[in-house]
Structure 1
């Protein structure tokens, strides 16, 4: 039937629900779109902030390793003294480097998609090697430290920073892949980090000549000239880019301090030392003195990078907070709209449609003989409507009484009065695949149990005792089988068990458990007298259905017959008539 035709044929209540539901659905669709937009903005801004914070930590790794070279140069330029001020300072700077590495290590930072967390351990390993080289050189007497030994230690510290480049560039690539709008900011941060690194190298290039008191070689002059050119080139580009943020007072102060303290005092000091080194090996300062004077001029470079990172972090944080505010505001508005719609739907149904439609439901249900709940109070429509529902309630009560009587008669027709188990008629309906039991699997197992020498029990102790035995066996059966299994009195002293979906091994196990449980049970038959009863059991598996059921009954009955013929009080299965089933055998099967 076409949708339009089905809608026309629907009830008024259905049409009301469909109409209001469509309105609510469209509102929710719009709400989901709006929330999705603001949620995407919030997540992007939050991810940007986390990425920039992480990138700042990555840059700090290179910065701390670079700063560690200063006290290392001092230690390499002095006599061996484990307790010297330079040695203590080197220990402090190494701890700061380790702390910076720990801050970006996967165990503390977590795994970020697209970020080269595996590079951290590579940098740490290379740093440990460089430190060993520095310590080995510093352990030598100063007179035994050649320029090559000191230069090798310094170059290895340079190499650690170079090895950290993949960590920096990989992190930058991850940030740009996440949000391309951050490309310019992370490039500036990288330049500011490089600015500090090349400035530090200027001092390290002079550490070996000063420590060994030799003039600058042509290679030393080339390295100084190359590093200075690279330094000034980076500064020129970075200064130009930072003009975009000229409105920030803290950044302006950091720029002024950098120009005055480093590109003024610090670089001039390096120029003076370089000039002295070109003329002679008398620099006028030791390596430690050079470090103590030069390193403070590098602080504005670090402050410039930190200040710029604070600026971009504040921007990302402001974007995140704004997105979060709008996300919350839109969510609250949407919730109010949805609640208002739902309230209008409920009021319309309750005050307009519900009384009439409920009365119609009662009349139709009574006409069709269906059960229906009593009408609650509070319906509109005045006294007439209350009288109508009162009359309908009386009819409903009578219908329920009739159904309860019918259900009771049906239970009596399918239940054995003595044992409370299903009777033979119900068992056959199940086995033959009656539609009422369609939810049961077609594959079933069947256990037939016959009480041994039951006639002798009746003859010796009387029929009341026999009835008590059957009740006890029925109770034991219900205790033994599973919840999904069914038990029926098959006839006389025979009990049949249907086990849906059970394997033959499971059937044998349950049958043996039932047999042994009955054998151990002392049944009281009156006046304190107790007797022991045994039973023989036949087991078979098959399918439900008119023909299959008869075959299954025949197979289980044949197995039961063999159990009795072989001495009773035992279990036999149709699949293997020659097998003797014992408790130990059942335990192994299970």
Structure 2
């Protein structure tokens, strides 16, 4: 009965944990789905400016193509806002979407639309640049009013699950990229509609917004580079580079040059028809990223369901098996089990390790149990002796307290002391940048302080089962068992940022800022794999140094079998 109760308790504990994982995964999926709708609503409001610019550049035509297109876009915007309206019966919508902020968006949108309709109803000759710019500024204001809704939803999403932070920020940046790209065309629209030269203010706004677009794109490229396993995203990035950052920005540059004289080669409608399609890849890139985000969330939830089903089935099997054992075993098994318990306690306390466990008088499964205990005794005795030998050896670095180079080398030598360490492992090689300059400037004692402080920071930030070692000089090695290349890159980037931001106080009160370069790779630590893994990580470190230091070099997915490809991994 005790065995059955313990089995049930263990199974119920696993079911509780996996059930919690499933609930969290389901809520994450629901929250990410709503967050996508919020971003989509913000984009719809931004996209509404395109057809509005066309209407403002034409004579009044209530049933004209531009007016019909604007009406369609307005309907889409209203539908998008309706989809994110908080539902009192849904906790996720109440938490992610602020009703008051959303009401402010609707009020601002209604006012901007009325202003646009009043101006577009007047003959084109009676509309001046200032009035057109004021109407466009009103639509800018709508987007700015929507921004607190997006930021509040993003904050709630990250508070709900901190692991969603990266997805939330990248989604926001993709939305901002589309918004600022659209503003470039909106800044030109008033002057084109009035056939007047660009004002100095409009020209300055174009320059500033153009710089903002490039800045966002540079940050996004680093983030999207982590999604090499999503071919749709990779293709969308390539299309955006050609269609928008080449063709679209070339069009903006040409119209900006024409704006110096006021002699434009296009109307506002023609500009819209030429410029808006170049922004389509930006929208596809955003949608592709959000689709990938949701697909990942769905896969996580499905995985939780599968594990939950497996554990439930396994629990039923455990219950049936234990009941059968209780019926068949009765008193014959309890006494040997008590003896086995005493042996286990003795082994745990490292007693009687030289006294063999007798197995011959027990039969069947009990025989196998005592045979396993004997095997365990032999392994524990071997491990105890190994531990005693290792204690005699100098296995730690005297300066930093880390494991030393000798211990690092034994990882690849089939040392029995590391038999429990998985063969598949990740490796991060880290080198403090310009350490000789620190020694030359502040002295070797200060250099030793920098080494100790850096080692302490790394130990605090890595996982409990990771091994941090002094590889030599100012170089450190971190062994991370069973860790993917993407996770290694994120960990290395986190360490790089933390070291760069942490000032090290010397004994004389001087504070020193240091940086470090990293090389990361994955591979095997058995046979020739260990040497290949070290070479791959070392080449990645060399590439990081060659590209300017203070960065992470990542060995490519196939780098361990051939040439090593180093990628820069930087936080946005």
TM-score normalised by length of structure 1:
0.54
Assess if the C-alpha contact under 8 Å between 2:98 and 2:152 holds in 1.
no
The whole-number CA distance in structure 2 between the counterparts of 1:98 and 1:120 is: 12
Q: How does 1:181-260 map to 2 (within 5 A)?
A: 181-260=163-242
Assess if the C-alpha contact under 8 Å between 1:74 and 1:86 holds in 2.
yes
Deviation at 1:41, TM superposition (A): 1.8
Assess if the C-alpha contact under 8 Å between 1:34 and 1:330 holds in 2.
yes
Deviation at 1:348, TM superposition (A): 9.3
Q: How does 1:39-78 map to 2 (within 5 A)?
A: 39-78=19-58
The whole-number CA distance in structure 2 between the counterparts of 1:29 and 1:184 is: 37
The whole-number CA distance in structure 2 between the counterparts of 1:324 and 1:141 is: 63
CA RMSD of aligned residues (A): 1.9
Deviation at 1:93, TM superposition (A): 0.6
Q: Which among 94, 110, 113 is matched to residue 128 of structure 1?
A: 110
Match of residue 307 from structure 1: 288
Report the secondary structure of 2:276's partner residue: helix
Q: Deviations over 1:196-225 (max 9, x none)?
A: 000000000011111111101110011101
The whole-number CA distance in structure 1 between the counterparts of 2:135 and 2:303 is: 51
Q: How does 1:437-448 map to 2 (within 5 A)?
A: none
Assess if the C-alpha contact under 8 Å between 1:61 and 1:97 holds in 2.
yes
Report the secondary structure of 1:106's partner residue: coil
Gaps of 5+ in 2: 331-572
Q: Deviations over 1:284-333 (max 9, x none)?
A: 21111111111111100000001111112222211111111010110111
Assess if the C-alpha contact under 8 Å between 2:85 and 2:97 holds in 1.
no
Assess if the C-alpha contact under 8 Å between 1:70 and 1:204 holds in 2.
yes
Q: Which among 282, 287, 301 is matched to residue 263 of structure 2?
A: 282
Q: Deviations over 1:230-286 (max 9, x none)?
A: 1100001101111111232111110111010001111100110001101x1111211
User: Is residue 145 of structure 1 aligned with residue 109 of structure 2?
Assistant: no
Deviation at 1:148, TM superposition (A): 1.9
The whole-number CA distance in structure 2 between the counterparts of 1:106 and 1:177 is: 18
Match of residue 29 from structure 1: 9
The whole-number CA distance in structure 1 between the counterparts of 2:306 and 2:54 is: 53
Deviation at 1:39, TM superposition (A): 1.4
Match of residue 63 from structure 2: 83
The whole-number CA distance in structure 2 between the counterparts of 1:348 and 1:222 is: 88
Report the secondary structure of 1:321's partner residue: helix
Q: Which among 320, 324, 327 is matched to residue 305 of structure 2?
A: 324
Report the secondary structure of 1:193's partner residue: helix
Q: Deviations over 1:522-561 (max 9, x none)?
A: xxxxxxxxxxxxxxxxxxxxxxxxxxxxxxxxxxxxxxxx
The whole-number CA distance in structure 2 between the counterparts of 1:164 and 1:114 is: 16
Assess if the C-alpha contact under 8 Å between 2:187 and 2:202 holds in 1.
yes
Gaps of 5+ in 1: 1-19, 350-590
Assess if the C-alpha contact under 8 Å between 1:71 and 1:90 holds in 2.
yes
TM-score normalised by length of structure 2:
0.55
The whole-number CA distance in structure 2 between the counterparts of 1:124 and 1:332 is: 51
